[in-house]
Amino acid sequence: MLNEEEKIQICRQYTLQCGVCEAENTFYRLKRDIVNPAKREGDGHALVYKWGKPGFDGINPLDFFWGVCQKCSFTGELNDAKFRQAERNIKDFKKGIHPEGMRNLLTGLSTGSGMGQALSKRLGDADPLVVIVAKFHLGIYSQCLLQKPTPGNIARYYLRLAWVYRDVEKFYPNSTFEKMAAKFVRLRTRFKLELPKQKDYPVVPGIALTEEDALRFARSFFERNYETLREAKVEDELRLRYLLAEIGFRLYELSNGQEDFKKAASYFSAAMEECLGIVSDKSIVGGAVNRAKEMLQKAGERGRELRILHKKRGGGDSESSPREKNRSISKDLIGEAGDEVRIKKKIRTEENGKNRIDEKRPTAEQKKEKAEESNPINQENSAVRQVAILKAEVEKLRIQVKELEEDNKQWKEMAGTDAITGLSSKVVLIRLVLPKVLNGLEDTGPYSCMVVSLDQFAHINQAYGWKVGDRMLEESARKLATLTEDGSEMEWYRLDGAHFVLLGPMDNNSARQRSVDLKRWLAKENTIFDQKQMSMKASIGLVCINRLSSSTSEGASKIYESLMHSLNRAKGKGGNTIEIHGETTF
């Protein structure tokens, strides 16, 4: 533990008034740029930190992440300006806290009981691991006491808690998971019971005592964060997808679960899909395209590593594919070449050692050895061996290039298809199909788009988890596809979450009638999986496309924005409703 003088070297000292109980607290917040990650893993975890001051390499920067009120235990992120400046308007700050949450805090303050007080008691523990785990759960608990908890924040906090567990040996070498967990396990049930009821949780937040538990909570809330994105930039969506892929990869490393593998592979595929869309979109230029290319390469390589790990663990086909045979040949060649190189190095090392030890050898022997080295036959044999080694290395590189080309081809094929439903994806719709429709609008006549969002899906995800949710989506997509099996030109696409799009040649009147028929049909249908049932009642947004007044890519973006605007209006009216966009020219 650092003393006050040591903290002052790397931190700024704050005296802040609590926005709940109005008590004054002293906090230490890291100075700007005093520490930076020198090397990161895919999910953002820092493998190495570079400190601006010497002597702090054994300190975890996350020890200074939270500010905990010593009186009421309300906890906030020290980098959050709203938390630091709560004293400027205490009244407004309190309005942001759920009434039930406020009661819990005040009751705990007066009685010395409650979850906040129970976790605060761990802050005085001699084990620094217990202290930081308590701080993170206080932070998560306090976030959940707000009127509108932010899924992205809860996800970030669980992800950083997972990093804490990953770094136990580095920063808390004298701590053990078992002793730490024993001090929290009894609080698990109470933690969930004392949280105010929130309908938008993907899962009820809880106490996570392992890296795997923390990552599962993080993934659930990042997924909810992705579903609720409204006007996020393309690059923000891309980064979030890639982060979900990396979290899935780490979970698969920890759990060896097939569902974790499938989910990670799906997100890598989606990230590459988004990258390909950015790269192929002529309206996007500059740094965004270059960053998309970099991420495309990175996601492809990481996805390939994921599949290799899966095969090592017994996944994939039992029969070796031609590519696997090539890999086997490559390994043999590499092994043979490597053996020869190692043998040559060993021989040279032994000869050099012998020369150094036996400096008094007869001059005649030295002359003999020198004559042998200069012998043309010996030189020729050495050259032959070197050529053989180089050939093996060239063959190794050729096989690697071929494997990469095959992997890139496979990922590009996957990129156009949604991994869960098998439908064409959002990027295919917006980047390829809609521009093509708009380009031929004069010849084909009007087209129409309907976005269909299953109203009950969020409840299913919350009640049963994403595994059941994914199966419900798969079954719902199959049912929707039966509506277009009559040879019509109508086609379904999946955007994200439970949002599907039906696109086809329809004028305004036909589209309106079809949307009404579709709404009635959906209201009567149910999706069933594992004895769990979900109504297919849906909110529908309708956009009719009659004319093009801009570029095809700009028009496609406008159509998508209009679809989502209409859908949000339908959702805002309580669902099971149709909203028709007024504009028909894009």
**Number of CB atoms found within 10 A of residue 93's CB:** 20
CB 266 within 8 A of CB 219: no
State whether residue 167 is helix, strand or coil: coil
CB 299 within 8 A of CB 242: yes
| Residue 384 predicted with pLDDT over 70 | no
Among the listed residues 42, 40, 467, 471, the one whose alpha carbon sits nearest the alpha carbon of residue 253: 42
pLDDT value at position 215?
A: 97
Half-sphere exposure of residue 559, counting CA atoms within 13 Å on the CB side? 35
The DSSP-derived string for 416-462 is TB-TTT-SB-HHIIIIIIHHHHHHTHHHH--EEEEEEEETTHHHHHH
pLDDT value at position 48?
A: 94
The DSSP-derived string for 480-536 is HHGGG-SS-S-EEEE-STTEEEEEE---HHHHHHHHHHHHHHHHH-EEEETTEEEE-
State whether residue 495 is helix, strand or coil: coil
CATH number of 235-316: 1.20.58
Mean pLDDT of all residues in the chain? 84
State whether residue 201 is helix, strand or coil: coil
CB 120 within 8 A of CB 138: yes
The mean pLDDT value for 234-261 works out to 92
pLDDT, tens digit, for every residue of 259-308?
999 999 999 988 888 888 888 777 777 788 888 889 999 999 999 999 99
Q: What percent of the chain has pLDDT over 90?
A: 51
pTM above 0.75, yes or no: no
- The confidence band for 340, taking pLDDT boundaries of 50, 70 and 90, is very low
CATH ID of 426-580, from 1.20.1440.230, 3.30.70.270, 3.20.20.370, 3.20.20.70: 3.30.70.270
pLDDT value at position 430?
A: 87
pLDDT, tens digit, for every residue of 4-22?
999 999 999 999 999 999 9
- The confidence band for 98, taking pLDDT boundaries of 50, 70 and 90, is very high
pLDDT, tens digit, for every residue of 510-545?
899 999 999 999 999 999 888 889 999 999 999 999
Q: Do the strands 578-580 and 538-545 form a parallel or antiparallel pair, or are they unpaired?
A: parallel
Q: What percent of the chain has pLDDT over 70?
A: 84
**Number of CB atoms found within 10 A of residue 113's CB:** 12
pLDDT value at position 331?
A: 40
CB 273 within 8 A of CB 427: yes
- Top pLDDT among 91 and 329 is at 91
pLDDT, tens digit, for every residue of 37-72?
999 999 999 999 999 999 999 999 999 999 999 999
CB 538 within 8 A of CB 545: no
The mean pLDDT value for 419-442 works out to 87
Q: State how far the Cα of 418 lies from the Cα of 492, in Å rounded to an integer.
A: 11
- The confidence band for 149, taking pLDDT boundaries of 50, 70 and 90, is very high
pLDDT value at position 111?
A: 82
149 backbone φψ class: left, alpha, beta (φ>0; ψ -120 to 50): beta
What percent of the residues of the chain are helix, what percent strand, and what percent coil, each to the nearest 5?
Answer: 60, 15, 25
